Amino acid sequence: MRLSDFLKKQGTEKNLAELILFLGRQSLVVKKGFLTMPGKGPEGERTRNVFGEEQMPLDKYADGVFIDALRQARLARYIATEEQEQIIEIPGAKNDFGIVMDPLDGSSLIDVNLCIGTIIGICPGNVLDKGSRFLAALYILYGPLTTLTYTTGKGVHEFMVDESGEFVLRHQDLRIPDGKIYAPGALRKDWIPAHARWIEDLEKSGYKLRFSGSFVADVHQILHKGGVFTYPGIKGKDAGKLRLLYEANPMGRIIAEAGGAVSNGKEDLLNIQPASISQVTPVYIGGKKEIALIEKFMREG
Ligand code: AHG
Ligand code: MN
Ligand code: MN
């Protein structure tokens, strides 16, 4: 079944369905950029985003593709992305939607051709909103197949691009299974004690290491196979690295809808009111039991 038919069948509100389909189409334009964009920009043209990270040509290209297309189509009022310093407001927008986006996740893997993705959350209005209030969350994974996984609060569903460039149903009503994969970000030497104890516990229970450098790819694997991803708060950087708006909340919303959970180690991330668009947060995302365990260890100190 095609994504457009599936959205209709689910009774998705018309404007929201149109926006999801539109974003899916833009991801195909982004994918075309893989053929021509170099992994790194030429020296002298390299720039950094507000997080101090070097922007790859594909980061800027993907950001531009989504923003330009949304400006033209006017399907949302606000856009906040990892590559922009400020919220963009679209004059004459047809809808009040706010979009939060990591246009290209896993940038360090572009030049080696490993899986990367796009992460998007759709808010009812203002982008400074809790993940629990998202109307939809989706991600596109550029892997051997290009897939789009989304939720509008009625299950988590995965579509893939077929030969004709259509998104067609691949998995309906995904539920995160029990599984023993762990994907731990950051350096072991910087882990705080509760986090280190938790990792030790997972390792003793036989969890296998799977960390690629792309949040979206690692969480996608965990959605299918179970387990947990973390990019924790660390010594000297207790707020962690990943972005609450652009990464943690949209992926968290999807995993929560699939029966998992997302936390900063202390509380459900989806209930946190963001203070700024560039807020970063420790992230624990995956199965409920792994998240309950880190929260227990954090409480114990
Ligand atoms: P981005 O490519 O959007 O900057 O995100 C990179 C993120 C995330 O995808 C990944 O899990 C993490 O950063 C990897 O960080 P390290 O290189 O520190 O492992
Ligand atoms: Mn990212
Ligand atoms: Mn990014």
C-alpha 91, offset from chain centre: 27
Residue 115: is its pLDDT beyond 90?
Answer: yes
- The answer to whether the CB of 51 is under 6 A from ligand 1 is no
Of all protein residues, the one whose alpha carbon is nearest to atom 14 of ligand 1 is 213
Indicate whether this model's pTM tops 0.75: yes
- Domain ranges, ordered by start, for the chain: 3-171, 181-300
Report how far ligand 3's centroid is from the alpha carbon of 145 (Å): 20
Does ligand 1 lie within 6 Å of residue 213's CB atom?
A: yes
Please give the share of the chain, as a percent, with pLDDT higher than 90.
94
C-alpha–C-alpha distance, residues 223 and 177, integer Å: 7
Token pair, residue 28, equals 């195909």
For residue 243, the 8-state DSSP code is: B
Ligand 1 contacts CB of residue 57 (under 6 A): no
Average pLDDT, stretch 126-135? 98
Question: Would you state the pLDDT for residue 250?
Answer: 99
Q: What is the mean pLDDT of residues 188-214?
A: 98
Kindly state the tokens that stand for 5: 């038919």
CATH number of 181-300: 3.40.190.80
Q: Name the pLDDT band for 37 (thresholds 50, 70, 90).
A: confident
Does the pLDDT of residue 38 top 80, yes or no? no
3-171 homologous superfamily:
Fructose-1,6-Bisphosphatase, subunit A, domain 1 (3.30.540.10)
pLDDT at residue 266 above 90? yes
Buried b / exposed e over 81-91, threshold 16 CB at 10 Å, is: bbbbeebbebe
pLDDT of 43 > 90? The answer is no
Residues β-bridged to residue 105: 117
What CA–CA distance (Å, rounded) separates 183 from 213?
A: 9
Which amino acid, residue 270? L
